[in-house]
Structure 1
Amino acid sequence: MLQTFTHYFLHFIAVGLIAYLFDRKNWKKYWLLLIATMLVDADHLLAKPIFEPNRCSINFHPLHSYIAIGFYVLGAIFIQHKIIKIICIGLCFHMFTDAIDCIWNNFS
């Protein structure tokens, strides 16, 4: 239960803090964009079974692959356009959150 709470807290609430630190004036707009980065989980629909509670998403699903993560990191660092940059930051944080689940699953 703590793992589930932590996972969804990071996906929905912690990104609000990231949005606020990114742009205090427009944090709500950026928070919504960060929430929208969860659409990256659409690649879970390609897996069989679609949902496997103990499966590690990192490097299993195409948009969670190491190559994709590399592009997200490069975008977060080098892209100057604010909207694209916050999307890349959101994707990086999403992968971080999923990686925490992977670690959690390996130790439980």
Structure 2
Amino acid sequence: MRFFIHYFLHFIAPLVIALIFFKKEWKKVYLIFLATMLVDLDHLLATPIFQSNRCSINFHPLHTFYAIGFYIILLFLKRPYIFIGLGLLFHMLTDHIDCLLM
């Protein structure tokens, strides 16, 4: 169940957000949201790379509270940075929910 929730929040929920709040440019916004998943490349720095019971928040460099602070700053800049910030923050929220479900 945790697996389903995690990937639903990573792929389907951003699509719903893009469709509801950004109707005119939903495709562009959704692609940006998907691109923000590249933030998970920081998992390659961990040993082991994948560990099913590890919480990403505050473990991987791009998942730290400092990085999240930077993602919040992106919300106050012009487009497309707002969308990038939203995508990154939603990604962090998804990973945080995953941590809570462990």
**TM-score, length-scaled by structure 1:** 0.90
Please give the per-residue CA displacement for 1:48-73, whole angstroms capped at 9, x wherever unaligned.
00000000000000000000001112
Question: Identity rate of aligned residues, in percent?
Answer: 58
Match of 1:93 among 90, 93, 99: 90
Residue pairs, 1:9-88, within 5 angstroms: 9-76=8-75, 78-79=76-77, 81-88=78-85
Please give the per-residue CA displacement for 1:29-59, whole angstroms capped at 9, x wherever unaligned.
1101101100000000000000000000000
- Structure 1, gaps ≥5 residues long: none
Q: Does 1:7 align with 2:6?
A: yes
Moved over 4 A (4+): none
- Structure 2, gaps ≥5 residues long: none
3-state SS of paired residue (2:101): helix
How far does residue 22 in structure 1 lie from its aligned partner after superposition? 3.5
Instruction: Output the amino acid matched with 2:97.
Output: I
Cα distance in 2 between the residues matched to 1:21 and 1:84: 19
Q: CA RMSD in A?
A: 0.9
Cα distance in 2 between the residues matched to 1:83 and 1:20: 16
**TM-score, length-scaled by structure 2:** 0.95
Cα distance in 1 between the residues matched to 2:87 and 2:20: 13
How far does residue 20 in structure 1 lie from its aligned partner after superposition? 2.0
